[in-house]
Chains A and B, each alone.
Chain A
Amino acid sequence: MTDTAIKGVPAEDDPRSRVPLAEPGTGLTKITDTVAGIAERPETPKAWYVAFTIALSLLGVLGAMLAYLIWNGVGVWGNNNPVFWGWPIVNFVFWVGIGHAGTLISAILFLTRQNWRTSINRFAEAMTIFAVACAAIFPGVHIGRVWLAFYLFPLPNQMQMWPNFRSPLLWDVFAVGTYATVSLLFWYMGMVPDLATLRDRARHKVRRFAYGLLSLGWTGSGRQWSRFEKAYLILAGLATPLVLSVHSVVSFDFAVSQLPGWHTTIFPPYFVAGAVFSGFAMVVTLMVPARQFFGLKHLITMNHLEVMNKIILTTGSMVGYAYAMEFFIAWYSGNAYEKFAFINRAFGPYAWAYWTMVSCNVISPQIFWFKKARRSIPIMMVVAVFVNIGMWFERFVITVTSLHRDFLPSSWGYYRPTPVDMLTFLGSFGLFFTLFLLFCRFLPMVAMAEVKTVVPEGHAGHGHGHKEGASHE
């Protein structure tokens, strides 16, 4: 630690020092007790039941809507000609975007040695998996003939018919499929030591068996740890390009087409920034109540939240830059269709959606320039929810306003969602929260093993642990 404090600067803002990643006095035992205790609580809290009932009901709504959809056809949605893609694709991109924070936190921040990630990575990764699960529903059911969805995969068949490898939708299948697989592996593998801890502490036979099965015979030997660390590093290395690729490829769905408003080279970075933006906003949205409710404030500290808010501010500004750049290019390119697409976005029939998006995504995070705002729970909650809304609208604006007026004015139209669209989207939150609540109840929400490496007690003989970290700089 620094010996002399700088005058007027609180210790935690001292650039020469590292902020402790868990509140002082958080010993190894306490970490285990806190985190494992949540999963081991003999009685499930009533509030969990209430939340779970709501989530499960919404999941039921999703199921009913999907059954209704498959029985009747895509016509139950508001999609039309020219707006062949409506809410389902908006929802898909929205959920895939949300699913970005987790892997970014676990993989990229791991590789860049951002140790503060350890308290939140498990949580964020779980959120990623669940968001990708929600996302995966939409492209699957939005096609006209769901029962032939397997045509999208390169399966050997008697017709010797391959999918069209030129189509971005096919790239999408691969990108999202790979991302989901790697994220799931990464999340699960990282959880194995913690599952073993739960197994060892389990008193009930069933729990012992279940956690025993999931922990794959982990004993915590040095050799296992060594292999674990190597595998984790490799997976992190694999996952890192995927964080960038998956949303780049999702953006190709739009950018590769020739529709004014879609056909833009800025889309890949813009989409990735937007995805990280929305992902972090969602992490904050969920983390704040969770740390409160489960008593994890000493592990997920205000410092963590502040760092995430900084990322929200950064990515939000990147997104704002992208919005501005789109307009600039529309004017600068001299392409009349492109120009009109953007005039139409801002002043056409969907102007309300556009300005909702701008207010939520660009204007609202600007408050995070102020430290007070970054460390204020109410403000960050409001901003995070705004960003979630704004990012949904961003996808709506991109998808619908570009489609509804393209080249020939004769085929211009207007898109209105139906109640089925709305209930399906609502239902997807049911799936998300059902999985999330199950995760909170039965799995270690915080990566115990990893957090232990960053608390001072994890570095016996090294004094206060973060000198070592600081010396890397």
Chain B
Amino acid sequence: MSQTDQPAAASQNAPWRSLGEWQKTPDFQELVRREFAAAEPDQLGPVDRRRFLQIIGASAALASASACRYEKEELRPFAQRPEGFVPGDRRLFASAFERDGVALPLHVTTIDGRPIKVDGNPAHPASNGASDAQAQAAILEFYDPDRQRAVQAWSGGQGADKTWEDAFAAVSGALAAKKGDGSGVAVLCATSSSPALHAMRQRFAETFPNATWVQWSPLASGNPEAGAAMAAGQTGAAMRLRLHLDRAHVVLSLDADFLGNHPDAVRNRGDFAKLRKPEGEMSRLYAVESRYSQTGANADHRMPLTSGQMAAFLEALEQALSAKGMPGVAPAGAGSLPAGSEAFVTALAEDLWKGRDRAVVVAGDHLAPEVHARVMALNDKLGAIGKTISAHPLPAEVDAPGTAGLTRLAGMMASGSVQALIVLGGNPAYDAPGSLDFAGGLAKVPFKAHLSVYCNETSRACDWFLPMAHFLEAWGDARAFDGSYSVVQPTIEALHGGKSAIEFLSMVLEPAPRSGREIVRAAFDRVSAPMGGGDNLWRQTLRDGRLAGSETGALAVGFSAGSNAKMPAAPGGMELLLYPCPKVADGRFANNGWLQELPDFLSKVTWDNVLLVSVGDASEQGLHTGDLVEVTAGGASVSVPAYVAPGQARGSAALAMGYGRTAAGRIGGDRAQGVDPVGSDVASLRSADAPFLLGGVTVRKTGKTYPLATTQEHHLVEAAGMAAREERLGALVRTGTKEHFDHEPGFAKHETAHHPELVSLWEPHVYEGYKWGMAIDLSTCDGCNACVIACQAENNIPIVGKDQVSRGREMHWIRIDAYFRGEPENPTVAHQPIACAHCENAPCEEVCPVAATIHSDEGLNDMVYNRCVGTRYCGNNCPYKVRRFNYYHYPKRFFGKDPELMGLGNNPAVSVRSRGVMEKCTYCVQRIQEVKIDAHNAGRRIAEGEVKTACQAACPPQAIVFGDLNNPDSAVARLQAGPRSYELLEELNIKPRTQFLARVTNPNPTLVSDTHTESNDGHGH
């Protein structure tokens, strides 16, 4: 106030806002100078005790809250999303799955960088989009928690974790002294057709010129290759035989399982099915075989005959053909056939001769090369060469299959001349023929390392176990059966830091190790050089999954020299056929629960291998299914449960290889972890000379029984039940002959039970949008089981284990029923895949008290897992019994500690079901939704063929057709409207949306009275 006298003239006209401003008091000036009003302590007032405690308390709470934070996640978001990458979207990678040197071209589906499904590559004729059970199960193998994750040094049966550096130091140390020489160094490599690996092999040979490199596959006999070469007069130059069943109208299989156990089976199944639709021309398949094979199951005429008698049969056939006018047949040998087979031989000869140029004879893998040579000569005379069967050079990368290489190596090992052995893949310590004593030889090798996906029997007998990258996580390449080149693409970073064989060899051999991609690219450049090579071709090859033009051409050679091949004598006594298991192969898939739990295509046995004994032999020796028997051959014996197999040839027994693993894992058996082996190991019975077919076998009853887990109890049904089954069969699997079909195409419609007019209690559903439906062709379904595993992989279906299967609690959403017909000595069999039929009047929907299973507006019978409380009433009321109940929390039943890894392989579009919930086939609703969203976004209807269910996609013969019934032009609508279509159990008025197309076979009219392919006219009423 004292400064009021200060001149204010200059600002007389300036506006002012307060008296203070006008007077320019010091207080006001201070206020202006300061930016913010001062917080006067007295304005806040004293901090009282309460306030102080409040503040302290809040501070303490906030301070401690900073310790509460979300678990640190290692998510690395893309700062910029890569072009074309949509999170949660499916991405397909063309790749290939190599077994025994033959690649099955694949499409691998990944979601968010995780491979979750494999399917065949539709752009590749070796697959045509289809695949098989083993390929489908690759996903489970990839995420198997039992894959050893660390490099390990093994001694005395104990493994110690090491690093790759340790391992390379050890390997380099062992090999260093051998550089430039290599004697005493050996590599045993699982048979592979990989050009990249072949290049590494050549480099290895340069570094170690005197080293031994052996390829080994326990499944390939090498007989067809050798026999063909023999018939072509080129002994030593193995050649590969390819079948062209889509052109073969008369087919004779001599113990050959070209639809089942054949490297090119996926293609064969598809080709064969092309001539099995009765609407067009149908082929006729004759099968003469000892074991009921998948080929035999699809035959129009089948004759059980021991493998030892095949030569005699062939001679008899040649004589019969000679009588028809076929030239150049040598006089018959001494072999004789069972009585009653003359008619068969005569009719077959008639058919073959009439159909020459379009006929083919195929001999089984395990038959002697001489038989193959004679068969090739016969094919030559029938004019089949180049038409229905063609010979091709074996790819340069593949050694002639057989036991010769391994025998040589085993001899070297036994004599102590191998100082360093590197085993690339495989499991020779388990699967080498017992006569070679491979494990014994291995102990004499001072340094041995095993590169393997699993730490198996061989790894544990070696000094080093080196984790091998799975084919889904590493670069590689391989050739399909037709020789065409495919690149194996990785779909994910190696889960456990494994290395592929080529990467490993590069690190061992090359001063500057190259990545797998570089090695493969170099190999590609060499392979593709004739086609021009280059980056564009590389990219195209990656995308298409095949290098066009890389398949091997047919050899223009004659096979007449085979006519003079000297047939082997039949082995004396009872014979035993050791055949590759269609599920676990030679045991390499033994730790794959999907495959272990897959029912055998005929016996429906899971989780075991069984000795298939003929009905006659069984009754003679008093054997019953489930009796534990001791099989002795060549001094070795194996204890195994017997299975009385309908259709098995008298005097012949058969046993699958690939079981009895002792170091497979928690599924397949691991002695170290106290897990018993699954099934019995047959390696001790095998010898290098006779790895597949043994003579002079004795089968002795031990008096013990062994529990078998089957999914369809063939052998436990008494007479009354058998009669009822017989009575119903005609209506369940409607079967007719081609002749019958031509005469009366709608025959299947009449085989239904007589019933009154069907009246529904409910208003029919109305479908304005889509109306999904399925048709399954029983004429072309060959029972190969690919759909079962495809469904399991797509829909996150857990395995339940042997004890649960024997309780009838398997979870497969689709199952393949097998029904025998006729005499047990030689019945016919029909396969019928059954999944939820999505009935219009669904019995399950009516009875669910909580409305957990309901009809969708597209006709699906939806299962609402979250709503399901598990009364299981729906399961009771389902006439097809396709509903599956989670009696336990099955996904965690095995691998309790490692569910995370297993979970990575689950399809994220499908819920994993908890215990206590019912589940069943959904028609792959997630696939429908995915396509529907895309179509909706594009403002169009889903086009025909856009939605493929998992089973349909996997099916080689394309027996499963799915689509929109509201679209009259869709394949499924046309099939369901066709004459062969019928509803299973239509008398119940449930109106299933899955309809079956009647099974039509094409028997030879002159033989019909002798066989059982006739239409079963049993009416199910």
Binding site for B on A (CB under 8 A): 72-75, 78-85, 142-146, 148-149, 151-152, 161-164, 166-170, 173, 253, 256-259, 334-336, 340, 343-344, 347-349, 403, 405-414
User: Is A163 a contact of B851 with CB atoms below 8 Å?
Assistant: yes
Q: Name the one of A145, A167, A409 contacting B870, with C-beta atoms under 8 angstroms.
A: A145
User: Is A144 a contact of B834 with CB atoms below 8 Å?
Assistant: no
Residue on A nearest B917 in the bound complex, by CB: A144
**B821: CB under 8 A from chain A?**
no
Alpha-carbon distance between A142 and B871 when the two chains are bound, in angstroms: 7
User: Is B877 a contact of A257 with CB atoms below 8 Å?
Assistant: yes
User: Is B713 a contact of A414 with CB atoms below 8 Å?
Assistant: yes
User: Is A167 a contact of B848 with CB atoms below 8 Å?
Assistant: yes
Alpha-carbon distance between A403 and B713 when the two chains are bound, in angstroms: 15
User: Is A413 a contact of B846 with CB atoms below 8 Å?
Assistant: no
Alpha-carbon distance between A222 and B812 when the two chains are bound, in angstroms: 71
Alpha-carbon distance between A257 and B842 when the two chains are bound, in angstroms: 11
User: Is B869 a contact of A144 with CB atoms below 8 Å?
Assistant: yes
Residue on A nearest B882 in the bound complex, by CB: A411
User: Is A258 a contact of B716 with CB atoms below 8 Å?
Assistant: no
Q: Which residues of A contact B834 (CB under 8 A)?
A: 408, 410
Residue on A nearest B889 in the bound complex, by CB: A73
Question: Which of B727, B873, B884, B918 lies at the interface centre, i.e. has the most chain A CB atoms within 10 A of its CB?
Answer: B873
User: Is A82 a contact of B808 with CB atoms below 8 Å?
Assistant: yes
CB distance from B753 to the nearest CB of A (A): 6
User: Is B918 a contact of A344 with CB atoms below 8 Å?
Assistant: no
Question: Which of A75, A78, A145, A170 lies at the interface centre, i.e. has the most chain B CB atoms within 10 A of its CB?
Answer: A75
Q: Which 9 A-B pairs have the closest CB atoms?
A: A144-B870, A144-B916, A75-B887, A80-B808, A410-B817, A411-B881, A84-B872, A169-B849, A145-B916
**B977: CB under 8 A from chain A?**
no
CB distance from A286 to the nearest CB of B (A): 32
Alpha-carbon distance between A452 and B717 when the two chains are bound, in angstroms: 62
User: Is A73 a contact of B872 with CB atoms below 8 Å?
Assistant: no
Question: CB-defined interface of B150-193 with A at 8 Å, one 1/0 digit per residue?
Answer: 00000000000000000000000000000000000000000000
User: Is A81 a contact of B885 with CB atoms below 8 Å?
Assistant: yes
Question: CB-defined interface of B702-728 with A at 8 Å, one 1/0 digit per residue?
Answer: 000000000011001110110011011
Alpha-carbon distance between A452 and B884 when the two chains are bound, in angstroms: 59
User: Is B881 a contact of A81 with CB atoms below 8 Å?
Assistant: yes
Chain A interface main SS type: loop
Alpha-carbon distance between A334 and B889 when the two chains are bound, in angstroms: 43
User: Is B916 a contact of A82 with CB atoms below 8 Å?
Assistant: no
On whether A81 and B883 interact (CB within 8 A), knowing A145-B916, A167-B873, A258-B988, the answer reads yes
**B581: CB under 8 A from chain A?**
no
Docked complex: B287-307 residues within 8 A CB-CB of A = none
Extra 11 A-B pairs, beta carbons < 8 Å, given A169-B849, A334-B1021, A403-B876: A74-B885, A80-B809, A80-B887, A85-B872, A145-B915, A146-B916, A166-B847, A336-B724, A409-B717, A409-B724, A410-B818
User: Is B879 a contact of A72 with CB atoms below 8 Å?
Assistant: no
CB distance from B489 to the nearest CB of A (A): 40
Question: Which of B804, B832, B847, B985 lies at the interface centre, i.e. has the most chain A CB atoms within 10 A of its CB?
Answer: B847
On whether A151 and B879 interact (CB within 8 A), knowing A144-B917, A167-B873, A414-B716, the answer reads no
User: Is A81 a contact of B884 with CB atoms below 8 Å?
Assistant: yes
Q: Which residues of B contact A347 (CB under 8 A)?
A: 720
Residue on A nearest B841 in the bound complex, by CB: A258
**B905: CB under 8 A from chain A?**
no
User: Is B869 a contact of A85 with CB atoms below 8 Å?
Assistant: no
Question: CB-defined interface of B569-612 with A at 8 Å, one 1/0 digit per residue?
Answer: 00000000000000000000000000000000000000000000
Q: Name the one of B807, B886, B1020 contacting A144, with C-beta atoms under 8 angstroms.
A: B886
CB distance from B716 to the nearest CB of A (A): 7
A-B contact pairs, 28 of them (CB 8 A): A72-B888, A74-B885, A75-B809, A80-B887, A82-B808, A84-B873, A84-B875, A84-B876, A142-B871, A143-B872, A143-B916, A144-B885, A145-B915, A151-B867, A151-B869, A161-B867, A169-B849, A253-B873, A258-B988, A259-B876, A259-B877, A343-B720, A349-B718, A406-B879, A408-B817, A410-B819, A410-B834, A411-B881
On whether A407 and B847 interact (CB within 8 A), knowing A75-B888, A258-B988, the answer reads no
**B843: CB under 8 A from chain A?**
yes
Residue on B nearest A341 in the bound complex, by CB: B724
Alpha-carbon distance between A287 and B35 when the two chains are bound, in angstroms: 99
User: Is A336 a contact of B717 with CB atoms below 8 Å?
Assistant: no
User: Is B807 a contact of A344 with CB atoms below 8 Å?
Assistant: no
Alpha-carbon distance between A161 and B851 when the two chains are bound, in angstroms: 9
Question: CB-defined interface of B846-877 with A at 8 Å, one 1/0 digit per residue?
Answer: 11111100000000000000011111110111
User: Is B847 a contact of A144 with CB atoms below 8 Å?
Assistant: no
Residue on B nearest A83 in the bound complex, by CB: B808
**B693: CB under 8 A from chain A?**
no
On whether A73 and B850 interact (CB within 8 A), knowing A81-B881, A348-B720, A408-B817, the answer reads no
Alpha-carbon distance between A288 and B882 when the two chains are bound, in angstroms: 50
User: Is B804 a contact of A75 with CB atoms below 8 Å?
Assistant: yes
Question: Which of B718, B872, B883, B884 lies at the interface centre, i.e. has the most chain A CB atoms within 10 A of its CB?
Answer: B872
Residue on B nearest A347 in the bound complex, by CB: B720
CB distance from A381 to the nearest CB of B (A): 37
Q: Which residues of B contact A340 (CB under 8 A)?
A: 720, 724
Question: Which of A83, A258, A334 lies at the interface centre, i.e. has the most chain B CB atoms within 10 A of its CB?
Answer: A258
Residue on A nearest B874 in the bound complex, by CB: A84
Question: Which of B876, B879, B914, B985 lies at the interface centre, i.e. has the most chain A CB atoms within 10 A of its CB?
Answer: B876
User: Is B849 a contact of A163 with CB atoms below 8 Å?
Assistant: yes
Q: Name the one of B716, B727, B873, B885 contacting A336, with C-beta atoms under 8 angstroms.
A: B727
User: Is A164 a contact of B848 with CB atoms below 8 Å?
Assistant: yes
User: Is A167 a contact of B849 with CB atoms below 8 Å?
Assistant: yes
User: Is B916 a contact of A74 with CB atoms below 8 Å?
Assistant: yes
User: Is B808 a contact of A169 with CB atoms below 8 Å?
Assistant: no
CB distance from A329 to the nearest CB of B (A): 15
**B732: CB under 8 A from chain A?**
yes
CB distance from A397 to the nearest CB of B (A): 15
Q: Name the one of B727, B808, B917 contacting A81, with C-beta atoms under 8 angstroms.
A: B808
Q: Which residues of A contact B848 (CB under 8 A)?
A: 164, 167, 169
Q: Which residues of A contact B720 (CB under 8 A)?
A: 340, 343-344, 347-348
User: Is B871 a contact of A408 with CB atoms below 8 Å?
Assistant: no
Q: Which residues of A contact B885 (CB under 8 A)?
A: 74, 79, 81, 84, 144
Q: Name the one of B807, B808, B843, B869 contacting A257, with C-beta atoms under 8 angstroms.
A: B843
Q: Which residues of A contact B880 (CB under 8 A)?
A: 407-408, 411
Docked complex: B501-545 residues within 8 A CB-CB of A = none
Q: Which residues of B contact A259 (CB under 8 A)?
A: 876-877
User: Is B721 a contact of A412 with CB atoms below 8 Å?
Assistant: yes
Q: Name the one of B873, B881, B888 contacting A82, with C-beta atoms under 8 angstroms.
A: B881
Alpha-carbon distance between A142 and B850 when the two chains are bound, in angstroms: 15
User: Is A406 a contact of B881 with CB atoms below 8 Å?
Assistant: yes
Question: CB-defined interface of B803-819 with A at 8 Å, one 1/0 digit per residue?
Answer: 01001111000010111
Q: Name the one of A73, A167, A253 contacting B916, with C-beta atoms under 8 angstroms.
A: A73
Q: Which residues of A contact B846 (CB under 8 A)?
A: 164, 166-167, 256
Residue on B nearest A256 in the bound complex, by CB: B847
User: Is B869 a contact of A169 with CB atoms below 8 Å?
Assistant: no
User: Is B849 a contact of A79 with CB atoms below 8 Å?
Assistant: no
User: Is A336 a contact of B728 with CB atoms below 8 Å?
Assistant: yes
Residue on A nearest B811 in the bound complex, by CB: A81
Residue on A nearest B716 in the bound complex, by CB: A414
Alpha-carbon distance between A237 and B716 when the two chains are bound, in angstroms: 53
User: Is B869 a contact of A162 with CB atoms below 8 Å?
Assistant: no
Q: Which residues of B contact A168 (CB under 8 A)?
A: 847
Q: Name the one of A78, A148, A164 contacting B851, with C-beta atoms under 8 angstroms.
A: A164
Alpha-carbon distance between A328 and B728 when the two chains are bound, in angstroms: 21
Residue on A nearest B847 in the bound complex, by CB: A167
User: Is B868 a contact of A144 with CB atoms below 8 Å?
Assistant: yes
Residue on A nearest B914 in the bound complex, by CB: A145
User: Is A73 a contact of B918 with CB atoms below 8 Å?
Assistant: no
Question: CB-defined interface of B342-385 with A at 8 Å, one 1/0 digit per residue?
Answer: 00000000000000000000000000000000000000000000
CB distance from A249 to the nearest CB of B (A): 13
Alpha-carbon distance between A58 and B724 when the two chains are bound, in angstroms: 43
User: Is A144 a contact of B872 with CB atoms below 8 Å?
Assistant: yes
Alpha-carbon distance between A75 and B801 when the two chains are bound, in angstroms: 13
